[in-house]
Structure 1
Amino acid sequence: MTFRTKTESLINQLNDNLERMAKTLYDYWFVQFDFPNENGKPYKSSGGKMIWNDVLKREIPEDWEFETIEALGTITGGSTPSKAIEENFSKNGIPWITPKDLSQNTKNKFIARGEFDVTEKGLKEASLNILPANSVLMSSRAPIGYLAINRFDCTTNQGFKSIVCNKVYPFEYVFYVLKQNMLSIEANASGSTFKEISTAVLKTIKILKPQKRLIIQFKNYASVFFQQQNNLEQQNEQLSKLRDWLLPMLMNGQVKVE
């Protein structure tokens, strides 16, 4: 095993551990309802009152309500500039993400760019929306359910229903809300050739509405995990670039390892 391979393996292991910790925290608070009560003890396990919600068809904590995915932020789609016009694309333009890019990024939580970038001309030609950094990208067809957080401002093709998070719900929370409700999202998709979730339907899918203080507390904890994951993923990317740069020179004898 090479040094680079060992390093990548270690980084991936650390990243997996961080993901488990972040997801466990979300599940513990927002699925099992053992968030800290006013005395710092787990709510449900400590006898916190649960009430039946007729809309969600389940018991939820007494002070919680329900809302729809639309409350999480602005749901934004995308499109594809004409590939017949070369000036619509460039190597160092505005990142343009497709579901294929996310399919090749499944080990990562963040994404910087895809295979193609668009130019300002392509942006205008396709009436593309700019998604600010730390939006939650979600593929809405072929297949439904790939998730990623954009490291930089970007655009997407039409295979997305991404969420530009608002001031109430941080991206760390929104990411796991979508992940937790993916079966419901998929169940509400339609289409004969392939299933797709529309913006109109996605807006109406019902989700839990916790107390605002818990959202703030969750962000404070989860943001540490997310930032560390982002850093580790960037380290792996730098290692891959170094490999791609060195390998051809090693093969043709320009560089020798002694």
Structure 2
Amino acid sequence: GDVTTTMLWLNDKFTAAEIIRFAFGPAAIIYLVSTALLVMQIKEGRIDPPEEQGFKFLRSEKLVIGFAVGSFSLPFIVNLIGLRPYFGLLLGLGITWIVIDILRRYLPEHRTHFTASIEDFLRDADISTLQFFVGILLAVSALDYLGILNSASALLLGHAPTLERLVTGSSLVGVLSAIVDNVPLTAAAMHIIKTTDASVWALVALAVGTGGSILLIGSAAGIAAMGLVKDLTFTSYLKVATIPAIVGYIAGIGMWYLQHLALRI
């Protein structure tokens, strides 16, 4: 559900089962605590009546949607047989592409709403965003080659990091993701944090995946919402959502710590 979690998974920091085991409970606590605090602030107001929608999916469209949604399970399946997860996504894309082309070729035009071309989508892909992430990862690799990340690791965690220092360092990385993009933070964390403990890496995934919500600009969802809702500004988010996000974040980290201690007994 999060690009940084996927990065850690692809780098074998934990398995799919381990991220569920170690992070699901703390993530649920973050969600419940922050949501409860936000709900307490909701006031009665005018609700716009829903607009009448005359759109209805046809069976052919439901078939394509089913194939598209089902393709998201393929990375896990191909990973079980020793292939890299992106092979599953490419396989799902190819199958969906074939299904769409078959339906467009053999069904009358008025029986389907699918008129877009996947070729056009691929042609219009945002290459600049891909270049941005590639540049970030290259920069992080350069810092690692120069030894700067090792120095940062020694400064932040020490040469023999204790559990408390790992928790503190991971939590600070999560808070920093509210200001700095969490992709380079995760890439740097993979070099800075020296541990093979899957539960600690689950904590890192939890921290960088949710810590960004402390500020509106710290998550892709926040940026998108700011563009769609004119009343949602940086200041208004700070007044309404920052405290619930911080409290939920602290509660989630605390839940992870208690769960970690319980699993070690």
TM-score, structure 1 normalization = 0.30
Q: Which protein is richer in helix relative to its size?
A: 2
